[in-house]
Chain A
Amino acid sequence: MRIKNHPILEDLKNRKKVYITVNGRKVEAYEGEPIAAAMYAAGIRVHRITPKYNEPRGIFCNRGRCTDCIMKVDGKPNVRTCTALVKNGMKVESIKGMGDWSE
């Protein structure tokens, strides 16, 4: 859910709306924000699945340290979606375990 009319912070203005896809689903995003923010705003919190026990994982530190939020972005695996910024048309996909660099 995007926060509007915050009591302290001014609304962010002049941000260009873009669209990305997350596992095939079209998601609204704003230029300048990380992929994870757009996903959270759309209610998507599962980023990937663990290889052995198939457990869902999502953001934990939200600053590029823990790597729990990694996904495949435009074909590139293991991208930290909490810091990688959105781009119009970006294709974001969940991965199971670590992505394959050779793909």
Chain B
Amino acid sequence: MSDFVIIGAGPAGISAANESARYGVKVTLIDENNLPGGQLFTQTHKFFGSREHRAGVRGFQIGYDLIEEIKKLNVDVLLNTIVYGISADMEVKYITEGNSAKSIIAGNILISTGALEKPVVFKGWTKPGVMGAGAAQTMMNVHRVLPGRKVLMIGSGNVGLIVAYQLKQAGADVVGIIEAMPGIGGYKVHASKVRRIGIPILTSYTIKEAKGSTQVSSAVIVGVDKNLREIPGTEDEVKCDLICIAAGLKPFDELCWLLNLKFKYIGELGGFVPVHNDNLETSMENIYVAGDVAGVEEASTAMEEGRLAGVTVAQKLGYISDSQAGKLKGKIKNRLKYLRLGSFGRKRAEGKKKLTYK
């Protein structure tokens, strides 16, 4: 029996664990990886935001800081543990590191399983050497192995731009970033730093084919019109041994589907998102979502949502008073509001509004 079972120890899950355990909540934090931190450890760049969001600190350092905080609190951390199901009466079923099937009854559950990369399907996409941008990032930043020497990046959102820059830092040659839309998807400053180090960005281009016998040895790209249809005669073949796909993320919400939670399709947040109220409780009582699984945003919003879920559960279980919870939630929601300002944040804020119900 656990007061609060958190599934997914990325920035949202760890923040929820910290923000509830510190008030006395008995927390079990579960992750299928052998290290908590989620995607934070793949991030070598400095984060945006304000001091409270640890702006100017590199992603992986934020990961270490969060883990240090958990160590000081009495959180039960289960790593290399896969949650394969949750029953309607709050039984969380999992497979342990040692391969035995166990379960735990939870008073409250937070699903903070993050997001998955959306694939782009083209001829030859199954060849070795075609992988998600996150896959390449993990290989170089976590395992310190260069995933390829000559790279074509597909997608100019922040992930595509940042991973291209990181590939260059790791010693790869990035032949270019292609983007099907007429303009880039990510921040101009990310594009600027990629352009001035010599990486071309081609908008209104897509990938037609990955060629090679046992693995990728070249890519054929082709221009597209404003309806994203290929323009014949604009094909160009370029040598490369790695093609990274950075075409967006979608919530990784299989457990939510298994629980039969209510969903809504919100394009701005990555696809189907479990509906939740403004305290992150889903259509099922005592089940919460936070972080990218609740709508693809950023690590900073994931941390704040994790904190919000943590406070809500601590309040529900009576570890903090209603007025204390009110103050804490107010501060968190205010910070979330600030993170969702600006031309990038506004779209996400609108997505969240369509999603939440009172």
Residues of A within 8 A of B (CB): 1-3, 6-9, 11-12, 33-34, 36-37, 40-41, 45-47, 55-65, 68, 82-83, 85
Contacts and interface: CB of A to CB of B under 8 A. Distances in A.
Contacts of A65: 116
B170 to A, nearest CB: 5
Contact of B139 (A8, A9, A40, A47): A40
A27 to B, nearest CB: 12
Nearest to A33: B143
- Classify chain B: how many residues form its interface, as a range: 20 to 34
Given A33-B143, A45-B214, 10 more contacts: A1-B171, A3-B171, A8-B58, A9-B44, A45-B128, A58-B127, A60-B126, A61-B132, A62-B131, A83-B34
A63 B215 contact: no
Contacts of A11: 144
Nearest to B130: A60
Contact of B143 (A7, A8, A34, A57): A34
B191 interface: no
A59 to B, nearest CB: 6
Interface in B90-139: 116-117, 126-132, 134-136, 138-139
A99 to B, nearest CB: 17
5 smallest CB-CB distances across A and B, nearest first, come from: A58-B128, A62-B135, A37-B143, A45-B128, A1-B146
Given A2-B144, A2-B145, A55 B135 contact: no
Interface of B: 32-34, 44, 58, 60, 116-117, 126-132, 134-136, 138-141, 143-147, 149, 169-171, 214-215
Contacts of B214: 45-46, 56
8 contacts: A8-B44, A8-B58, A36-B139, A45-B214, A56-B214, A56-B215, A60-B126, A61-B132
